[in-house]
Amino acid sequence: MTLVDVLVQVGASTVALVTLSLLGIVGIDRMRSLRTVYRERIVAVSPYVGVLGLILLANSQLRNFGNEISLDFGLRITGNIYDIEGAFVAWVQSFQSPELTFYFSLIYVYGYVYLLVFPFLAFAMLEETDRFRKLVIAYGLNYTIGLACYILFVAYGPRNLLPGQVEGLLYTTWPQSQLLTSEVNTNTNVFPSLHSSLAVTVALLARKTREEYPYWYPIAIALAVSVCLSTMYLGIHWGTDVVAGILLALLSVRASDWLLPVFETRFPPARVVYARVADRAGDALGRLRS
């Protein structure tokens, strides 16, 4: 199996899950109402989505370069983490069973991707765009702060430090998954756990949509808890990484509440900016024709 095969599997599963969720959680009526306002929504949120896209692009480009800087100058904290929690992850794995391994492997890959993608679409269909924009801001903060921590700190996961006590269960039960995870992670990218931080971020923001999407809130909580547990059960992250990820989620959500009004106050609405650009482009085109 190649990386493309794995991506197709994950992509197809995500599309199926998201489609079912849109029908069951968002509802056909809400999706139909989007037909009359989708242009205005796209204009309103496009600057935020664009910045998030740039952050993700920078993250992908800086990952290997940042890892080299981290190995040369970063603080090595693996020993400190082990001093704090010892063999806690080994204890978590003492409850190992084929059923749990299968479940947490699915959650770590498929459940995690679904958990991040669905609210991106569901929040975009809300009448007001403020919660969608907060979601995008919180995602961006998670990735930005997470990358900074990965450069500042060198930390190896429990399966790397304690190979005799902790198993890399994801890779022993589903070796092909390493084709995917190796594209987005290195062995030292464990503190904090971005899986945990982004999953908890989604759960925290799902609370703000309880009235519109009452079924999504408990689903998001269950998946977020499962994602956090999966990172330890599979031997990928320390408990300390998960705690740090939860704190990062709290910080990102809180900061998004504060930053959105700041952005709205200091920057003109996107529709105004686009109108100005269109006017200037029209003037320039008119001068060229004359």
160: number of Cβ within 10 Å:
16
> The pTM is what?
0.86
In this prediction, residue 216 carries a pLDDT of 95
**Total structural domains within the chain:** 1
* Structure confidence at residue 47 (pLDDT): 84
CA–CA distance, 205 with 107 (Å, rounded to integer): 20
Q: Is residue 290 part of a domain?
A: no
pLDDT of res. 245: 96
What pLDDT is recorded for position 220? Answer: 96
- Report the amino acid identity of residue 89: V
CB neighbours of residue 23 within 10 Å: 11
Q: How far is the C-alpha of 71 from the C-alpha of 76, rounded, in Å?
A: 8
pLDDT at position 272 is: 45
pLDDT of residue 230: 94
Residues spanned by the domain of 174: 3-268
The CATH number of the domain holding residue 63 is: 1.20.144
Return the amino acid letter for 186.
T
DSSP for 77-127, written as a single string = -HHHHHHHHTTHHHHHHTT--HHHHHHHHHIIIIIHHHHHHHHHHHHHTSS
Give residues with Cβ within 8 angstroms of 233, minimum separation 6.
92, 93, 95, 96, 100, 101, 104, 169
Q: What are the backbone angles phi and psi of residue 95, rounded to the nearest 5°?
A: -90, 15
Residue 199 domain-assigned?
yes
pLDDT at 274: 46
DSSP H/E element including 8: helix 3-21
Per-residue confidence of the chain (290 residues) as pLDDT tens digits? 677 777 888 889 999 999 999 999 988 888 887 777 777 778 778 888 888 899 888 887 776 666 677 677 778 989 899 999 998 999 999 999 999 999 999 999 999 999 999 999 999 888 888 899 999 999 999 999 998 898 888 888 888 888 888 888 888 887 777 767 766 677 777 889 999 999 999 999 999 999 899 999 999 999 999 999 999 999 999 999 999 999 999 999 999 999 988 877 766 554 444 444 444 544 455 556 65
Q: Would residue 281 count as lying in a domain? A: no
For residue 267, the SS3 value is: coil
The answer to the question of residue 156 being in a domain is yes
Residue 141, in any domain of the structure: yes
At residue 145, the pLDDT reads: 93
Question: Residue 224: its pLDDT value, please?
Answer: 97
In a domain, 88, yes or no: yes
CA 210 to chain centre: 21
- pLDDT for 172 equals 82
pLDDT of residue 239: 93
194 located within any domain: yes
Q: Note the pLDDT of residue 29.
A: 83
> What's the confidence (pLDDT) of residue 252?
96
| pLDDT value at residue 7 | 83
- What does the pLDDT read at residue 127? 83
Give ∠ CA 169-162-90 in degrees, rounded to 5.
60
Residue count of the chain: 290
User: What is the enclosing helix (H) or strand (E) of 215?
Assistant: none
What pLDDT score was predicted for residue 277?
42
Between the alpha carbon of residue 222 and those of residues 47, 88, 227, the distances in Å are 32, 22, 9
Q: Is residue 85 part of a domain?
A: yes
Report the pLDDT value the prediction gives residue 269, as an integer from 0 to 100: 55
